[in-house]
Amino acid sequence: MINTSEILQTVHMITDEKLDIRTITMGISLYECIHSDPAELYRRVYDRITTKAANLVATGEELEKEFGIPIVNKRISVTPAAMVAAACGDPLTVARAMDDAAKETGVNFIGGYSALVQKGMTDSDRRLIASLPEALSTTERVCASVNVASTKAGIDMDAVRLMGICIKDIAAATAGSDGSGCMKLVVFANAVEDNPFMAGAFHGPGEGDCCINVGISGPGVVRRALAREAAGATFDVVAETIKRTAFKITRVGQLVAREASARLGVPFGIVDLSLAPTPAMGDSVAHILEEMGVETCGGPGTTAALAMLNDAVKKGGVMASGHVGGLSGAFIPVSEDIGMIEAARSGRISLEKLEAMTCVCSVGLDMIAVPGDTSAATLSAIIADEAAIGMVNNKTTAVRLIPAPGKTVGDEVEFGGLFGRAPVMRVSSVSAEAFIARGGRIPAPIHSLRN
């Protein structure tokens, strides 16, 4: 039972501390749409999405008004398009149907232009990867992801090599907007099937017909709770404060998820506990770490503070919801976090430090602008390094790099909205050509043999 005090605390979190529901994402299976004729495939995909999600945006807006809780995004995720387009042979048909359906339903993004290639690539997977530059430069709302590694399968280095080339081609195709097409592509290891966040959301093969997944937020709430309740206190107190705060935030997400599910007549999937920052002042994961005593995000102590934050958020959240999933933890996207932006601009955080931080938090090297002349092999090697962290540690990791055409270290790229802005970060000049040229598959670690 929620008491008056909890209600007042929630109101305060919303009005003064930037608490919001970052996204309501409807996952939709497209298996029944599969067809060999491109025109028929387009029609089936478009009709399926627009029918299932016809009331998604309106329902989200109703919930915002009734509960007074901002719901920033309404989104859709679908079955990986490489699977849906296999019989047709033209994945771009699916991309166009997804984009048109997203516009018709009014959602801001639709995810699932995806391929799962951690152990090898089918012809359909290869066609989808080859189509990514055109798909992401000619559609408005389509987001893509490719899973190149898993703890069970190892790392598909042939796919990793292709993704470095692909990112370069996407940047060139969207050079007029500083390579912005790369913002809509995530390269994963151990991708989860119920992630509500873009750009990496897709409706996994193990999911049901349709579901509602909710992603919460609230870095500002956590930071203010620490300032109010744990100033100068030991880390035991800090951890307990974060856990209590995460519990309250997740309860709000659970309420919205249940209501949206009931009104749309779609099963409730999961609540994702991730602390997703924005470029707005007061909504930064980096500033939480600094509230703990780290002088600047990226300095000594950063990784330890982030590890504790990630763990405490999960411990608090799982007590508030019976269905926790997605990525669930703390995100560290550079361009979308004002504290990260400040640290990168001042040179106090490096790509190598960010990589170390990804060992202990959700996702990975996210929304990082690098010099436009960074080679495809270097991009692939960065992806491989991050995939190795995910593979060995049995966790989800990801890479979202933007090689900004014509930009170099010290320049900035402006993406706007939740995507924010990013200082162009230094990348090692050491060649990775010979390493990436080997191809093949890096075997799964010994601890993957758990049967």
Confidence of residue 114 (pLDDT cuts 50, 70, 90): very high
User: Which of 139, 193, 188, 140 has its CA nearest to residue 160?
Assistant: 188
Residues 6+ apart with CB under 8 A from 403: 167, 168, 171, 179, 182, 369, 370, 371, 372, 373, 374, 379
Q: What are phi and psi of 217, to 5 degrees?
A: -145, -150
Radius of gyration of the chain from Cα atoms? Answer: 21
**pLDDT confidence band for 449 (50 / 70 / 90):** confident
Name the strand (E) or helix (H) holding 344.
Answer: helix 338-345
Instruction: Band the pLDDT of 12: cuts 50, 70, 90.
Output: low
Domains of the chain: 20-189 (3.20.70.20)
As a dihedral over the C-alpha atoms of residue 135, residue 138, residue 139, residue 144, rounded to 10 degrees, the angle is 30
Handedness of CA 247, 252, 258, 260 (dihedral sign): negative
Give the alpha-carbon dihedral of 354, 364, 356, 160, to 10 degrees: -110
Q: What is the pTM of this model?
A: 0.91
Model confidence over 385-427: pLDDT tens digits? 999 999 999 999 999 999 999 999 989 888 877 777 889 999 9
**Separation of first and last alpha carbons in the chain:** 42
Q: Residues 151-156: what's their mean pLDDT?
A: 96
What's the mean pLDDT in 43-49?
97
What is the average per-residue pLDDT within 114-137?
97
405 vs 378: CA distance, rounded Å: 15
Q: What value does the mean pLDDT take over residues 327-346?
A: 83
Q: What confidence score (pLDDT) does residue 14 get? A: 55
The residue that leads in pLDDT, 442 or 340, is 442
Task: pLDDT band for 334, please (50, 70, 90 cuts).
Answer: confident
List residues bridging with 398 in a β-sheet: 188
At 448, which amino acid appears?
S
Helix (H, G, I), strand (E, B) or coil at 369: strand
Query: How many C-beta atoms surround the C-beta of residue 240 within 10 A?
Result: 17
Contact 220, 177 (CB under 8 A): no
Which positions ≥6 away from 176 have C-beta within 8 Å? none
Q: 437: cis peptide before it, omega within 30°?
A: no
Going 361 to 362 to 367 to 371, the CA torsion angle's sign is positive
Residue of higher predicted confidence among 273 and 4: 273
What pLDDT score does 2 carry?
47
**pLDDT of res. 426:** 93
Of 161-170, 182-191, 263-272, where does mean pLDDT reach its minimum? 263-272
Burial, 229: exposed, middle or buried (Cβ in 10 Å; 0-12, 13-18, 19+)?
Answer: middle
Q: How confident is the model at residue 50 (pLDDT cuts 50, 70, 90)?
A: very high
Is the model's pLDDT at 8 over the cut of 50?
no
| Range among 56-70, 365-379, 409-423, 437-451 rated most confident | 365-379
17 pLDDT higher than 60:
no
Tell me what pLDDT residue 9 has. 58
**The pLDDT value given to residue 7:** 45
- With a CB cutoff of 8 Å and minimum separation 6, the contacts of 140 are 99, 102, 103
Q: What is the mean pLDDT of residues 25-48?
A: 96
pLDDT of 288 above 60: yes
The pLDDT value recorded for residue 10 is: 56
Q: Are 45 and 84 spatial neighbours (Cβ–Cβ below 8 Å)? A: yes
Q: What mean pLDDT comes out for the span 252-281?
A: 84
Position 6 pLDDT exceeds 80? no
pLDDT tier at 3 (50, 70, 90 boundaries)? Answer: very low
Instruction: Determine the pLDDT at residue 250.
Output: 85
C-alpha–C-alpha distance, residues 101 and 53, integer Å: 9
| pLDDT (average), residues 108-131 | 96
Min mean pLDDT across 5-14, 109-118, 430-439 is at 5-14
pLDDT at 121 over 80: yes
